[in-house]
Amino acid sequence: MNICLTDKIFKVLSEVVTGENVKAYVIGGWVRDCLLKRDHADKDIDIVVIGSGIDIARKTAKRLNPKIKVTIFRNFGTAMFRYEDYDIEFVGARKESYRRGSRKPAVENGTLEDDQKRRDFTINALAISLNAGDLGEFLDPFGGIADLRNRLIRTPLEPGKTFSDDPLRMLRAIRFATQLNFHIEDKTFRSIAENVERIRIVSAERIITELNKIIMCEIPSRGFVLLEQAGLLRIIFPELDNLRGVDKKEGKAHKDNFHHSIKVLDNISKRTDNIWLRWAALLHDIAKPVTKKYSPESGWSFHGHEYIGSKMIPDIFRKMKLPLNDKMKYVQKLIDLHLRPIALSQEEVTDSAIRRLLFEAGDDIDDLMLLCEADITSKNEAKKTRHLENFRYVREKLREIEEKDEVRNFQPPVDGCEIIKTFGIKPGREVGIIKNAIREAILDGIIPNEYKAARKIMLEKGKELGLTPSGR
C-alpha cells in the first residue's frame, strides 16, 4: 500500500468503495503533504468520489463508528465527518468549476480528470486510488509529481481560467510558494498580475486567512515580495504598499520602509510563533508615510510615527476583519512603545525611565524587547552589534529594576478604597489625584514601592487638597 494510505481510515474507505463498486480517490493537500513528507497541520483529508460523495461518507462513517455524525451540505454535494484527529471531506467529482464557498449548487457529475482540472494547482490535483484494483496508485494527469519535485506552483488549466473560477487562488499561489518555498511558474505568475483586480470580489475573511498563513511562514517576506510584485498588495493592503519607495533630497535618502518592515517580520519570525507579535513587527512603521518630513538641517524624520501608527491600527484591523479585541490592543501597545527601548539605550539611562517603561509595557515587556531587536536591520555588522549590546544593557537594567521595585504588574501599595476610608470621602476626582501622585512618586523613584511611604504621600497630597483624615 502507498505510504500515504497506512492509516486505518484508508483501509475502511477502500473496503467501502470497493464493496459499493464506486471509484474514489484521496486528493488535494493530504496527498501533496504526504509526498513532501510534510506534517499534516490540520489533518484534512479530501476524498473525491465518482458518484455520490454523500452516500460514501455515510457508509464509511457507519463502518468506522455508528455514532459518528455526518454533516451534509446537499447544495454542494459534499459531506464531512470527524474521525479521531481527522476531518474527512467527501465530494462527488464534477464538471462544474470547483468552487468552495459558492452558493451555486454543484450541477454536472464528472470524471476524476474533470474534477482534477478544476482544482487550483497541479500539486493539489494529485489523486491516489482507493479502489481494490489499483489501490495506492497515483493519478497525475497534469504533472503534479514532477512539479513537486521541481518545486513549482502551476495551474492545471490555462491560469486565467483557474483564477477566474476563484480569484482567491491568486493569493493561495503566493501562500503555497511561501509556505513550501516553491517558485510560481512564470505564466501562472503573469496571469496573477493580469487578474489582480478580480481579488476585489473575494471577501475580507478569506483574504485574511491567506495573509495570516503567509505571516506564519518561516520566511514571510517572500510572500510579501510576491504580493507586491504581482500588484496584489496595493489592493489588499494599501497601507503596507504605501511604505514602498525611497525619497531623496539634497543627496539624502531614507530607507525603503516596506522592505525594512518585512525584514523585521522575518527577524521576529525566527524568535516567535505569536501571530500578533508578528503583526506588530509588520505594522510597527505603518505611519511613516504620513509622518515623513524633510529638513535640510536634520534630514528625514518620522516624528510621532509610533503614536500615529498605533492609532491607525483599529481602522486597519476593522477593514481586514482582524479581531478588535485585546489582541489588537496588544499590537497597538507594542507599536506605540517600539522606540522607547532604543531611546533608553542611547541616553544615560535613569532608573525612573526604566521603571516607566516597565510600568507601561507590563507583561509585554519581553515581546517589546524582541520587537526592538528584530527592528535592527542594518547591514553594517559593527552597528548591529552595538545596538544589540545596548539592548542587552537595557534588558539587564529592566531585570534589576523589576527585582527591586516590581512595577511590571503595578498594584498600588495604597488603593482607592483606603484613600476613601482615610479621608471619609466619596469616590471621585480627589481619589484619582491621590492615586496618581502615589504612582508618579514610585515611578520617579521618589519613594519605594512600599505601603508606609505610599501612605505618607497620600496624607501629604490629601492635605494639599484640603482633606483631613477622618478620626479613627
Residues found near ligand CTP in the complex (CB under 6 A): 28-29, 42, 44, 46, 98, 100, 119-120, 124-125, 166, 168-169, 172
Nearer to ligand CTP, 170 or 443 (CB): 170
Identify whether the C-beta of residue 413 lies closer than 8 Å to the C-beta of residue 450: yes
Q: How far apart are CA 386 and CA 346, in angstroms?
A: 11
Tell the smallest beta-carbon distance from residue 290 to ligand CTP (Å): 35
With beta carbons less than 8 A apart as the criterion, state whether 441 and 457 touch.
yes
CB 314 within 8 A of CB 289: no
Helices 365-374, 326-337: axis angle to 10 degrees equals: 60
Q: Return the number of the residue (210 or 375) whose C-beta is nearest ligand CTP.
A: 210
Compute the least distance from the CB of residue 11 to ligand CTP, in Å: 22
Cβ 206 to ligand CTP shortest distance, Å: 9
Nearer to ligand CTP, 205 or 389 (CB): 205
Judged by beta carbon, residue 42 or residue 247, the one nearer ligand CTP is: 42
Q: How far is the CB of 120 from ligand CTP (least distance, A)?
A: 4
- Pick from 359, 351, 261, 273: which is nearest to 309 by CA? 261
Judged by CB, which is closer to ligand CTP: 198, or 260?
198
Is 99 or 327 the residue whose CB approaches ligand CTP more closely?
Answer: 99
* Least distance CB 410 / ligand CTP (angstroms): 43
Smaller CB separation from ligand CTP, 154 or 397: 154
The closest residue (CB) to ligand CTP is 29
Kindly state the smallest distance separating residue 124's Cβ from ligand CTP, in Å. 3
The answer to whether residues 302 and 187 touch, using CB atoms and an 8 Å cutoff, is no
Q: Minimal distance in Å, beta carbon 289 to ligand CTP?
A: 33
Cβ closest to ligand CTP, residue 166 vs residue 285: 166
**Closer residue to ligand CTP in complex, CB, 2/102:** 102
Q: Rounded to the nearest whole angstrom, what is the least distance from the CB of residue 333 to ligand CTP in the complex? A: 31
Measured from the CB atom, the residue of 42 and 218 that comes closer to ligand CTP is 42
Q: Shortest Cβ distance from residue 125 to ligand CTP (Å)?
A: 6
User: For residue 468, which amino acid is it?
Assistant: T
State which residue, 32 or 305, has the beta carbon closest to ligand CTP. Answer: 32
The 3-class SS string of the chain reads: CCHHHCCHHHHHHHHHHHHHCCEEEEECHHHHHHHCCCCCCCCEEEEEEECCHHHHHHHHHHHHCCCCCCEEEHHHCEEEEEECCEEEEEEECECCCCCCCCCCCCCCECCHHHHHHCCCCHHHCCEEECCHHHCCCEECCCCHHHHHHCCEECCCCCHHHHHHHCCHHHHHHHHHHHHHCCEECHHHHHHHHHHHHHHHHCCHHHHHHHHHHHHCCCCCHHHHHHHHHHCCHHHHCHHHHCCCCCCEECCEECCCHHHHHHHHHHHHHCCCCCHHHHHHHHHCCCCHHHHCEEECCCEEECCCHHHHHHHHHHHHHHHHCCCCCHHHHHHHHHHHHCCHHHHHHHCCCCHHHHHHHHHHHHHHHHHHHHHHHHCCCCCCHHHHHHHHHHHHHHHHHHHHHHHHHCCCCCCCCCCHHHHHHHHCCCCCHHHHHHHHHHHHHHHCCCCCCCHHHHHHHHHHHHHHCCCCCCCC
Q: Are strands 138-139 and 252-253 parallel, antiparallel or unpaired?
A: unpaired
CB of 80 or CB of 168, closer to ligand CTP: 168
Closest CB 228 distance from ligand CTP, rounded Å: 22
How many Å apart are CA 211 and CA 278, to the nearest integer?
A: 12
User: Shortest approach of ligand CTP to residue 166 CB, angstroms?
Assistant: 4
Whole-number minimum distance, CB 377 to ligand CTP, in Å? 30
